[in-house]
Amino acid sequence: MGIPSFSFSMHLVLLSILTSLSLTSEAAQYRYHFCSNQTTFSPNSTYQSNLNNLLSFLNANSARETDFYNTTVGQTQTPENTVYGLFLCRGDLATIECQDCVSTSTKEIVQLYCPEEKEAVIWYDECMLRYSNRSFFSIMEDEPSKILWNFLDITEPDSLLQLTLGDLVPVAANASSGAKKFATKETKFMESETLYNLVQCTPDLSSFDCRRCLWGAITNLSNSYGGKRGGRVLYPSCNIRYEVFSFYHIQAQAVAAPPKGKGKISTAIAIVIAVTIAAAVVLVILLYCFRRRKASKKSNSINQVNSGISDGVLNYHAASEVTTLESLQFDFGTIEAATNKFSDDNMIGEGGFGKVYKGVLHEGKEVAVKRFSMKSSQGLEEFKNEVILIAKLQHKNLVRLLGCGIEREEKLLVYEFMPNKSLDIFIFDPRRRSQLDWKTFYNIISGIARGLLYLHEDSRLKIIHRDLKPSNVLLDHDMVAKISDFGMARIFCENQNIAKTKRVVGTYGYMAPEYAMAGVFSVKSDVFSFGVMLLEIISGKRNSGFYLTEHAQTLLAYAWRLWCEDKVLEVVDNFLMESCWTSEIVRCIHIGLLCVQENPQDRPTMSNVVALLGSESIALPKPKHPAFSVDKFIQIDKFSINEASISSMVPR
């Protein structure tokens, strides 16, 4: 009996070796590359010398027992000549296979694809190579990106694809420190067909960022799934792939032959083994019941969020929404620990639906946690709206949602932390306002415009924000504007241009007149809000409350009067006049007045606004009478600091 078992084991080992040899013999298969043409270096420059050294170091280290290596060259020299780089090999490769791929990539990247660019990334089937003049280590990045498809179709459903790849996310993300963040799985989906799945992150990512990167890739793949037999998503920080053939090395399970003279096991040993197995089975059953109970609680919370939504609230692919909620789940204890049990010392803001806290996750990542008030009757509705909406949106000028927490009555949203807080602090605080020049404010204006353009026209969903105001525009460490707070946002169908609601929500001073008075909203409602913000940035004055001054009832009325009197520069804050180009700031005032015209049809679209901001050669039409004021309103039900946010209004 020993000989056949040994023969079978040897057969498996030989089969594994032959498979490995057949894969190794192939050259590295190029898939895609990206070169940033924004920064280039000169031939024979210091940067090129440092880059050559970096590629040499990466190549040399690929010959060691490693599938990942990152390093920096030139730190002691000027920062602009420093080069950061890494390679990542597929987690199942042998060292020789990894070395071959890295060797190929270090040559081809500079010889064939990116000869003079300071920033580049290249993907092969077997490895990825990346370098830049900025540090990107331990930072989750999903741009540049590429989706590649097999040309042939398959009958495999999208839901199975999501499940199989999704099962691998925690396996890869929860790998111990220093281990490969890599996982594979084979799934039978037809009698004669097997789906082969692979996910991988760069090992320098935290488990949280790895999970976030992989789920983003899976969502991206699922959103554009066309029933193909294979597909992959390539990100700088992670990658995923599925095929109906084995494209990675499957570990063969060899059957060991029993040792000589040990053909029979004693009764005592057999009893011990049986008892051990029984105890293990009981333990597994108990653990399974515990996890089912915990999952049931989470599912009930999610189902609660997914039901009872009315008045045009987001109802977009319900099954996909539940999956999104589950994939973004944070454990409540993790968030509580990150915010020091929601300490007042950690509170950084307060709004109508709750409070915002600064938090630090266990891996050191700073986050902002929005905790919804348990007393708010609208908290559940806004929570669902914000999670599902913002999870589907990715843009430089939109705040990034990292996850959410749902436990009993608690509803939490976790965002990337914005160290410079919100735009209103810099507009209306004279001391902070003086820290910025016109160029910075102009970049902020352009960033808000591009973010709105993405929402209205460039994303796969057509979204109306409905509560655009300076406190809902956050600023990162580079003062890049990011639109936030999508709790009141609404999705339009592709051919829908206008909608009406009986429940008006928004903030006094920023709402378009047709929305405030009749509940009619469209992309032009957001354009109006943008125009108000633009004039506030330039003047340093709030539109709401401006009637307290001797100049006019509202900021819009004041700006219009000065425009008609050809004295428009008087609306500009004196501090900005010191650092601006007169023609540029006058053009911005002109654009602002176009955006706040009373008739929505007269207002430009955000694509027009972005074009007008980007080119002085485009002629501007003459603005018409703006909407000076929407009378005075009684504010009820919802308030925020310094601004009255209205959930229902009655004209006085």
Q: What is the 3-state secondary structure (H, E, C) of 570-598?
A: HHCCHHHHCCCCHHHHHHHHHHHHHHCEC
Active site residue 573: no
Chain mean position to CA 398: 9
Q: How far apart are CA 360 and CA 337, in angstroms?
A: 8
550 contact partners, CB below 8 Å, separation of at least 6: none
243/241 Cα distance (integer angstroms):
7
List the catalytic residue out of 67, 92, 100, 467: 467
Asked if residue 102 lies in contact with residue 62, where contact means CB atoms within 8 angstroms, the answer is yes
Beta carbons of 122 and 30 less than 8 angstroms apart: yes
- Rounded alpha-carbon distances, angstroms, from residue 64 to 60, 94, 95, 99, 192: 8, 11, 7, 8, 40
Query: Quick one: 402 exposed, middle or buried, by C-beta within 10 A (0-12, 13-18, 19+)?
Result: buried
**What's the 3-state SS for 113-153?**
HCCCEEEEEEEECCEEEEEECCCCCCCCCCCCCEEEECCCE
Determine how β-strand 366-372 pairs with β-strand 410-416.
Answer: antiparallel
Provide the β-strand partners of residue 407. 410
Q: Which two tokens stand for residue 76?
A: 């002691």
What residues does 411 pair with on adjacent strands?
A: 406
Backbone angles phi, psi at 242, to 5 degrees: -135, 150
DSSP tag of 637: S
Q: What is the DSSP string of 235-282?
A: -SSEEEEEESS--SPPPP---PPPPTT--S--HHHHHHHHHHHHHHHH
411 is in an annotated binding site: no
Enzyme catalytic residues: 467
Binding residues for ATP: 370
Binding residues: 370
